[in-house]
Homo-oligomer: A and B are copies of this chain.
Amino acid sequence: MRQAQIAFAIETPGQGLLEITDTVAGWLRDTGIETGLLTLFCRHTSAGLLINENAAPAVQRDLVRWLEKVAPERAGYEHDDEGPDDMPAHIKALLTGVSLTIPVAGGRPLLGTWQGVFLAEHRARPHTRKIVGHVIGE
């Protein structure tokens, strides 16, 4: 058993879901670990990570719209230091979470046919987001 760790910096174009499956799978392949456990961790409180359908872009747009509806701007929040998209982004980070754990087999994340890994940018403007990858296995 051994482990590997990496830090990714990913530029987001602003609010929305950005697929990072290939980036993650490429790094995992480079580690040479065939079977194990992959963890991804987002080091932010206004962005998150999620797994959802990657075939139909409309699903991603509907997820973003639903998050906007359930955590709207200007809903009387006490915290608004960084503008109207600030507190909604923290709520969305609670909903999406900031980490993912995925079993690895054959040197690949064991994702289902329609599953993609997404970095969810919850702030309106572009950001550089730090993601940590960790894999343990053999």
Interface residues of A (CB under 8 A from B): 1-3, 5, 35-37, 39, 41-45, 50-53, 56, 58-59, 61-63, 65-66, 70-71, 77-79, 81, 87, 90-91, 93-103, 105, 110-115, 130, 132-134, 136-138
Contact = CB atoms under 8 A, between A and B. Distances in A.
B132 A110 contact: yes
Given A3-B36, A94-B95, A95-B95, A51 B59 contact: no
Contacts of A90: 52-53, 59, 62-63
Given A94-B52, A95-B95, A137 B3 contact: yes
* Number of copies of chain A assembled together: 3
Contacts of A1: 1-3, 136
A35 B7 CA distance: 13
A101 B103 contact: no
A68 B3 CA distance: 41
A51 to B, nearest CB: 5
Given A52-B90, A91-B63, A99 B102 contact: yes
